[in-house]
Structure 1
């Protein structure tokens, strides 16, 4: 992959070319070299097409050209459909011709072996030295629905393309990406652009996100991602999308060890910690979908560009069971499924005495007999309940045309009276019913829990957009802070000394190298004390018996020192030992852990959590890429499940959050 900065404008020749050359063009529309030409003709592409084939004078009814150099005129994009060994020469010929961009279908590069990796690096060098953009190798290609242009051999596109829309697709996997393209067509979801990046020798997922972030025809960027090898470029792309108020919905795979290994072999991507990816995506307001259905549901909902002002969620249902299900998911996702005021519940009871009126409001099947109940309930809930979002669950009623027409008319009237409220619908029915509701600004979902997830996602997107353009001030280090050499290997005692110089309070402690020194140091600082081995080679001290706590006198200090040294020499005979650390034993308070880890993709990551079982068993931690400021640090603490302990649960005094 090229290390070049983001240059979204240089991708325009890929998606709106005025001319295209196909190297390896075939007269057989079923072959890889023939399929793109056949599709371009069927789509009615208006630009110039140059089939490159030295053995034929005509290909699929168009005049063939012996080589790219023989083309009379400029070429915006070239499609490379030649065998792997011929790819580098073909790409170089395109660069010599002044072609602006190429798409390489051929495989057998970095995803295979070292020789393939070297060949791919040669392609990257051509891109870097000439400025010509390269998509692939090992990719299925791309499509521009807006401009009726296809540079792909995928059969997924051979049956036509979807209607133009405001959702772009970027995928590192060609087959999966083309599957998404077909699925969008079947769901009648409009697409602007479709890009598969394959091995990403130059154009990668970040370039695709950046291009669509800048594009005026795209509002939502739907992404399939395995990993990245250029964190700065990836983060810059997410920042650009955030700045341009473009919604990014991502299916990031490789969360398991097996999945991570598969991703590395598939497109030669680097897969870092999945928890770190979660943190980065959350930081840049990216929604991480957990499955394909969620990817489409959230992207489609976001394309409405309607984001609720708050998270207060009202529910109306004809099924008590569905209402409970929605309420459970709403609470789980942090939505405020607050009950209606008591006086309001009385009003609803007067309308329908046997209804459930707290929230969810269960109007039962009686709604189908008296449709006037729907607008009355909605108006009251919006006027007196203060809900930002209301989801109406009608189950299979969408198949009853007369009823669903009444429902639509009733809800449309309410929507017009309450334009700021987000009304959503869950029902089964034909596609034209869904289109009718959505044309009126009301999103439709088959699964009621999908509607709740979409509402929560839209609220989060809206909140995230409020933070754009508000850089957080970073805390300043005191002038007295002790410098650290980048290559220095420091032990625990030295690390704490450096932290102390930065203004962080640490326990009194001392390194000793003899038993009598241990007793003297412990006596001087006052019992009880803790003792532990100090070695750069021993990371997990307690596992080798290198830690003793609760030492109360000199004799115990001598015994502890001797035992620690004996355990270390027996279990880690090759470890370099600096001595034993004697430290005052801090009692009371709430045990907290703060750590730094260098992620292979994103660099320095800060971790915070409550100690003990909260970290070791429950995994209750928060991660953030450094650097960041105090407000982000507070949000990290507040995100912990154990945060109530810090805030002062059950009458306990709150911890010093500012100090932490």
Structure 2
């Protein structure tokens, strides 16, 4: 796969079917689901790093062959030991290297010589320790690549597949018991975090099949591991932890495939990488903080970026136990009006629709409990607790007639009461499961055994209503994102021919290359003298604008290089002479191409579009409100390139600019369709020229009324 990634799979750039099996993941089965294992550095002490993997593999019921390798012992933990990998009766799929950093290079050489497919390096002391460690790590990688050996680590805790009893790790989390197979996968750059989140997920009752930590990522990185687990049957949700992204093309491909297959990725990313191209004079570069770019790309690919471990666990728990809802309609049942209203507020903030019960159903509920509130939230009052069969019937009406996608019962501390716990659960269960695909949840405070009893009856259980509504909101967004991924899309447009221009581009040259890539520009003329400027204005029609044109003058207003609303030839001549004189005085060494004479464009909504090159995520298109305050307002969003017009519309809708473009205070709607096509064309231009591009600004970009298109008034293209 190329670093550039003709397979950077952004929305609408590649037929969905092409994603299946697209990644090059050679050797990963040997790493993450091996049929045989050699433990190099095997220890007789089951508490040591070289002893724990053997103890775990023996106790877990792993069915593959395990060969302890230790030249100084005849047996290890009661099993035959082998002096070297070369002495083994077969070539193992995987070697677990539980040796010190100083002995790792020789162990890797031995693996290559024996034809081993993959190895996990547990030892620390490599790139994370400084230049000497980086150099040694590079030497090890070179040996492995030359011999076709895939490496995980170094400085990692390894990997596991609970469905086959494979535990290629020394993590102490397994001292409390093994992972239960289930629909959850964990991929973490940090071994400590991977163990921590796995333990928390296990405490929550989640089944975890795949568990992978990547450490220093000298070879296999988080993106490749993510791509591998997304291809596994039975995975419904992936909890990922990232400190950075090394292979953006494969990262994007993995996210696109997860979205296509309906696998939820809940990602926790820490740290802020530097902006890739902080080009002087570019608004886009100044606005493209990498964390904001990462957020937007998560939205583009339907990834939920969790802000805390608790949030990550909550969402994984909800998906693993309940799946995804059909839609966002939330029905709330409560015996306290205040708690119901609070949840309604929280649900609305999370993007859930607290829709009222149908009028006929309200009448039926009113007949059952005359003093209750049957609208939604549905407040049955404390009277429902005195007659549980009545409560069952009440909830049954809500489930069968409410048309809800999610039903939540607010139970408080009542389930913790021994006299009510089982009876209340039975009453809720007796109301039935509701329609197909309905998610049922409760909020309550109760002992763990009570929580498990409710979960066994098919209910999600949360103690905090805010955590529940946020998790449900994430589930709804996954539902919507997956539906978009499955929707038919037109074939992706071809990328334009890469530009051949070099050096810093003037506004005129920038507009020419962007126009050739499919972006519309108004009729403008370059004039080298005031007389030529007047003739150009006569041809264009008045009023006009005169602007200095120089590769070295990005912001013309700062040198007095723009004069507007010129209504006759004499005014144009005077203006051209003035801006030429000002520019030469301000920047005597600048190359002055002349002046641009452009039509004076009125009306429309001013927005900004541009391209920034992020060091980690590559070129991204930016869009938001334009004008001189763009860097103050920061109403911007981003997308990885290339993308289509449908994705551009989603991008526009994320911003305040998108609301303004729909028409406010009686203003007519703007031509959002033309704007979307322009943003998509800009994304293709960026993808075609990513190796040479440092940034693009189109500011202001005027969006006219529906049907009248867009008019870019200024353009800046910066080459690296």
Which TM-score applies when normalising by structure 2? 0.80
| Paired position in structure 2 for 1:315 | 332
Does the CA contact (< 8 Å) of 1:528 and 1:585 recur in 2? yes
Distance in 2 (CA, whole Å) between partners of 1:367 and 1:219 is 37
* Equivalent in 602, 607, 613 of residue 587 of structure 1: 602
| Paired position in structure 1 for 2:195 | 178
The residue matched to 2:164 in structure 1 has which SS?
Answer: coil
Distance in 2 (CA, whole Å) between partners of 1:403 and 1:113 is 61
* Equivalent in 102, 118, 124 of residue 107 of structure 1: 124
The residue matched to 1:387 in structure 2 has which SS?
Answer: coil
| Paired position in structure 2 for 1:450 | 467
1:372 to 1:63, Cα distance in 2 relative to 1, 3 A: same
Distance in 1 (CA, whole Å) between partners of 2:558 and 2:75 is 74
* Equivalent in 71, 74, 99 of residue 54 of structure 1: 71
The residue matched to 2:674 in structure 1 has which SS?
Answer: coil
Q: CA deviation at 1:109?
A: 2.9
Structure 1 stretch displaced more, 134-143 or 200-209: 200-209
Note if 1:492 corresponds to 2:492. Answer: no
Q: CA deviation at 1:196?
A: 0.2
Number of residue pairs the alignment of both structures matches? 646
1:410 to 1:103, Cα distance in 2 relative to 1, 3 A: same
* Equivalent in 628, 652, 659 of residue 637 of structure 1: 652
| Paired position in structure 2 for 1:202 | 219
Gaps of 5+ in 1: 259-270
| Paired position in structure 2 for 1:389 | 406
Structure 1 stretch displaced more, 300-309 or 286-295: 300-309
Does the CA contact (< 8 Å) of 1:173 and 1:197 recur in 2? yes
C-alpha RMSD over aligned residues: 3.5
Per-residue CA shift, 1:222-256, capped at 9, x if unaligned?
11122222222222222333343322221122357
Note if 1:240 corresponds to 2:254. Answer: no
Structure 1 stretch displaced more, 397-406 or 223-232: 397-406
| Paired position in structure 1 for 2:428 | 411
Does the CA contact (< 8 Å) of 2:506 and 2:551 recur in 1? yes
| Paired position in structure 2 for 1:651 | 666
Note if 1:463 corresponds to 2:480. Answer: yes
Does the CA contact (< 8 Å) of 2:347 and 2:469 recur in 1? yes
The residue matched to 1:106 in structure 2 has which SS?
Answer: coil
Which TM-score applies when normalising by structure 1? 0.87
Note if 1:151 corresponds to 2:168. Answer: yes
Note if 1:399 corresponds to 2:399. Answer: no
Note if 1:14 corresponds to 2:31. Answer: yes
1:146 to 1:474, Cα distance in 2 relative to 1, 3 A: closer
| Paired position in structure 1 for 2:679 | none
Distance in 1 (CA, whole Å) between partners of 2:578 and 2:365 is 74
| Paired position in structure 1 for 2:445 | 428
Does the CA contact (< 8 Å) of 1:599 and 1:605 recur in 2? yes
Does the CA contact (< 8 Å) of 1:251 and 1:295 recur in 2? yes
1:658 to 1:40, Cα distance in 2 relative to 1, 3 A: closer
Does the CA contact (< 8 Å) of 1:225 and 1:250 recur in 2? yes
* Equivalent in 628, 636, 641 of residue 626 of structure 1: 641
| Paired position in structure 2 for 1:24 | 41
| Paired position in structure 2 for 1:325 | 342
Distance in 2 (CA, whole Å) between partners of 1:26 and 1:404 is 50
Does the CA contact (< 8 Å) of 1:174 and 1:198 recur in 2? yes
Distance in 2 (CA, whole Å) between partners of 1:20 and 1:503 is 56
| Paired position in structure 2 for 1:268 | none
Structure 1 stretch displaced more, 139-148 or 631-640: 631-640
Distance in 1 (CA, whole Å) between partners of 2:356 and 2:488 is 37
Distance in 1 (CA, whole Å) between partners of 2:98 and 2:563 is 67
| Paired position in structure 1 for 2:522 | 507
| Paired position in structure 2 for 1:267 | none
1:532 to 1:147, Cα distance in 2 relative to 1, 3 A: same
Structure 1 stretch displaced more, 196-205 or 22-31: 22-31
Q: Which has the higher contact order (CA 8 A, sep 6+)?
A: 2
* Equivalent in 212, 223, 226 of residue 243 of structure 2: 226
The residue matched to 1:146 in structure 2 has which SS?
Answer: helix
Does the CA contact (< 8 Å) of 1:397 and 1:403 recur in 2? yes
Per-residue CA shift, 1:260-309, capped at 9, x if unaligned?
xxxxxxxxxxx983333333333333222121011111111111353222
Structure 1 stretch displaced more, 123-132 or 208-217: 123-132
| Paired position in structure 1 for 2:689 | none
Distance in 2 (CA, whole Å) between partners of 1:537 and 1:477 is 32
Q: CA deviation at 1:567?
A: 6.4
Structure 1 stretch displaced more, 293-302 or 339-348: 339-348
Q: CA deviation at 1:199?
A: 1.7
Structure 1 stretch displaced more, 306-315 or 134-143: 306-315
Distance in 2 (CA, whole Å) between partners of 1:482 and 1:52 is 56
Q: CA deviation at 1:91?
A: 0.7
Does the CA contact (< 8 Å) of 2:625 and 2:656 recur in 1? no
Q: CA deviation at 1:588?
A: 1.2
Q: Please give the residue correspondences for 1:238-637 in structure 2 after superposition, counting only pairs within 5 Å.
A: 238-255=255-272, 273-304=290-321, 306-341=323-358, 344-470=361-487, 472-474=489-491, 484-485=499-500, 487=502, 489-501=504-516, 504-513=519-528, 521=536, 525-526=540-541, 528-542=543-557, 546-550=561-565, 575-612=590-627, 615-637=630-652
Distance in 1 (CA, whole Å) between partners of 2:261 and 2:494 is 33
1:555 to 1:151, Cα distance in 2 relative to 1, 3 A: same
Structure 1 stretch displaced more, 161-170 or 405-414: 405-414
Structure 1 stretch displaced more, 489-498 or 38-47: 38-47
1:36 to 1:613, Cα distance in 2 relative to 1, 3 A: farther
Does the CA contact (< 8 Å) of 2:273 and 2:290 recur in 1? no
Distance in 2 (CA, whole Å) between partners of 1:174 and 1:650 is 54
Does the CA contact (< 8 Å) of 2:85 and 2:111 recur in 1? yes
Does the CA contact (< 8 Å) of 2:82 and 2:88 recur in 1? yes
1:509 to 1:468, Cα distance in 2 relative to 1, 3 A: closer
1:561 to 1:438, Cα distance in 2 relative to 1, 3 A: farther
Per-residue CA shift, 1:298-357, capped at 9, x if unaligned?
111111353222222222223434333322332233322223345544544444454444
Does the CA contact (< 8 Å) of 1:614 and 1:620 recur in 2? no
Q: CA deviation at 1:207?
A: 2.6
Distance in 2 (CA, whole Å) between partners of 1:114 and 1:350 is 77
The residue matched to 1:121 in structure 2 has which SS?
Answer: helix
